[in-house]
Structure 1
Amino acid sequence: MIKSMTGFGKSILQLPSKKVTIEVKSLNSKNLDINARIPSQYREKELEMRNTIAKSLVRGKIDFGLYVEITGEETTTRVNEVIVKEYIKQLSNVHQADTTELMKMAVRMPDALKTEREEINEEEFTAIKNELDAALVEIENYRVDEGKALEKDFNIRINNIENLLKKVIEIDPERIKAVRERLQKAVSELKEEVDQNRFEQELIYYLEKFDITEEKVRLSNHLEYFTTTLNSADSNGKKLGFISQEIGREINTIGSKSNYAPMQQLVVQMKDELEKIKEQLLNVL
């Protein structure tokens, strides 16, 4: 069973004085890359949350956001009364104005507001961790659903390549015959006498260079191995990528050896199907 690296999970926790929103978004990446946006008061717990995410999602470009909205009367931001009064005093010395206007200017000055560091409540953080787990379950389900769609597409593409390979096998004798006839025609057009025994030896040697028996067998084995890996219990995106490379090598070799237009057309179609597989494999976990 394969999984996609693309997914999204969201969970909302309502606490007595605040609302906590957790969002996790995942895109494809060769490795694990976590970008976290969390309030400063939760920084000391960032590593713990990162480890939880890494253990669950394994690989991908992960955007993790923890957003806190104060809904109660309490707030950690306070007006710095001493500083604001001092600003008003200094501003009044510079320019005589209404106290309200001076107040408006003073609160926009540096250090007019101060934020008191809020200690993390462990009970509260436990609830946040539970919501993080819920968001990760949601994104995991998203990945599984996306993986099913990818798996269906892969099976179609592999089946198409297998059918094209069958056509290659069917026309291979015809190809060998065409190559032989082309060589014999070329020799017959020569005005020089040719030793038939020597010609037959050279012909056999030449045809052996164009033999694709091994490539056909290896390609068939690679296609079968791809399907087996696709249906395994784990999501093996990197392994499937390696197998697709081997499939590509065999297809390319058949194309270079074919020397026969109908077979080369089939090879082009196989390459097209394989490129679509490789493109989608970038999203597989």
Structure 2
Amino acid sequence: MTGYGFAEEKVADGRISVEMKSVNHRFLDVHIHLPVALSSREEEARTMVNEKVQRGKVDITVTLTGSPSSLGVEKRLHIDWHLLRQYVQAAEQMQAFGAFDGQLSLNDFLFNEQIVSIQEETGEAPAVHQAFLKAMQNACDRLMEMRSKEGRLLSRELENYLQHISECLGTLEARVPEMQSRYRQKLEEKMTAMVETVDEERLLTEVAVFADKSDISEELARMHAHVKQCRETLDEPGAIGRKLDFITQEMNREVNTIGSKGNDQSLSKVVVEMKSILEKVKEQVQNIE
């Protein structure tokens, strides 16, 4: 399910901003981008999201603005003295050959990133961590609010699809007797064309065999049960996407069986329509948590 949440908290002379975005995904996939000052809090942030979201790809970006010291970040100059000595020794050896007459300057080393670097060190800043957790919580709540709104819209759309499927099932139930009657009529016409007198007993036997092979009453009953189960699941709290996915697969299996048994053009049209609806249901179920 898609969603967006943003929250911001003041801390010292700076701010902490948390932005969350979620898109559809079959499983839960969380990506968190944290500044150095909060790198130790990644697992805590991940747990917070895992407790609320069960399905979807969630991308979280946390931004710190303000003076580094007030946010628990200290920048320190780091010099690789061992590497510096090697540079100086090598320069002296090169100069000894007489091939170089230039003098080394301080800038030659200060702007050498391999020798001189600036490193950030994170200190304990309880106020920063508290503000971060509060911003995370607020952003997560807003994300879930938007996802819930989308979920309600998807639920209404699925209900319309289920209603359409129920109507198709009613059409099939009404057409089964007509299909058997048409089969008896065609069979009787064929037998009359071959012989002058129709063997009534043989005709009844053939019709009974056809009725048995084309009986879809069990499949229709199971389809009604699946539709009912879908509606009940939509009213359940919590994550229901995977359960709906399983029910949809079962419904598709029953429709395929109906299509293979119902050897009749009028039934085939209804089966094709139901398959089309189920494809839409399956597509939307993937978006539901």
TM range (shorter): 0.7 to 0.9
Match of 1:7 in 2: 3
Partner SS state of residue 26, structure 2: coil
- The reply to whether residue 54 of structure 1 matches residue 27 of structure 2 is no
Distance 1:188 1:76 in 2: 100
Structure 1's 189 and 19: CA in aligned 2 closer, same or farther, altered over 3 A?
same
Distance 1:95 1:161 in 2: 90
Q: Where in structure 1 are there 5+ consecutive unaligned residues?
A: none
TM-score normalised by the chain length of structure 1: 0.84
TM-score normalised by the chain length of structure 2: 0.83
- The reply to whether residue 77 of structure 1 matches residue 81 of structure 2 is no
Match of 1:277 in 2: 281
Structure 1's 73 and 168: CA in aligned 2 closer, same or farther, altered over 3 A?
closer
What is the CA-CA distance between 1:30 and the residue it aligns to? 3.3
Structure 1 counterpart of 2:117, from 113, 124, 128: 113
Structure 1 counterpart of 2:267, from 263, 266, 276: 263
- 1:165-176 superposed matches below 5 A: 165-176=169-180
CA contact (8 A) 1:219 1:250 kept: yes
Question: Is the deviation greater in 54-63 or in 270-279?
Answer: 54-63
1:49-84 superposed Cα distances (whole Å, 9 cap, x missing partner): 211111121332222222223x2374733455897x
Structure 2 counterpart of 1:19, from 15, 20, 25: 15
Distance 2:111 2:50 in 1: 43
Partner SS state of residue 30, structure 2: strand
1:211-234 superposed Cα distances (whole Å, 9 cap, x missing partner): 222222221221122111112233
The percentage of counterpart residues that share the same residue type is 27
CA contact (8 A) 2:79 2:115 kept: no
Structure with larger RCO (C-alpha < 8 A, sep 6+): 1
CA contact (8 A) 2:168 2:270 kept: yes
Distance 1:36 1:138 in 2: 17
- Equivalent pairs counted in the alignment come to 278
Question: Is the deviation greater in 125-134 or in 171-180?
Answer: 171-180
Partner SS state of residue 4, structure 2: strand
Match of 1:44 in 2: 40
CA contact (8 A) 2:80 2:115 kept: no
Q: Which amino acid aligns with 1:175?
A: M
- The reply to whether residue 248 of structure 1 matches residue 248 of structure 2 is no
Q: Which amino acid aligns with 2:50?
A: A
What is the CA-CA distance between 1:195 and the residue it aligns to? 4.4
CA contact (8 A) 1:87 1:106 kept: no
- The reply to whether residue 148 of structure 1 matches residue 148 of structure 2 is no
- 1:60-209 superposed matches below 5 A: 60-69=56-65, 71-72=66-67, 74=69, 76-79=74-77, 103=107, 106-107=110-111, 109-190=113-194, 195-209=199-213
Q: Which amino acid aligns with 1:65?
A: T
CA contact (8 A) 1:77 1:113 kept: no
Question: Is the deviation greater in 259-268 or in 13-22?
Answer: 13-22
Distance 2:80 2:270 in 1: 82
What is the CA-CA distance between 1:39 and the residue it aligns to? 2.4
Match of 2:26 in 1: 30
User: Which of the two has higher C-alpha Rg?
Assistant: 2
Distance 2:276 2:202 in 1: 41
What is the CA-CA distance between 1:239 and the residue it aligns to? 1.2
| Superposition RMSD in Å | 3.0
Distance 1:193 1:95 in 2: 125
What is the CA-CA distance between 1:191 and the residue it aligns to? 5.5
Distance 1:95 1:64 in 2: 56
What is the CA-CA distance between 1:259 and the residue it aligns to? 1.3
1:94-135 superposed Cα distances (whole Å, 9 cap, x missing partner): 7869x7xx8498435324332141213122201110110001
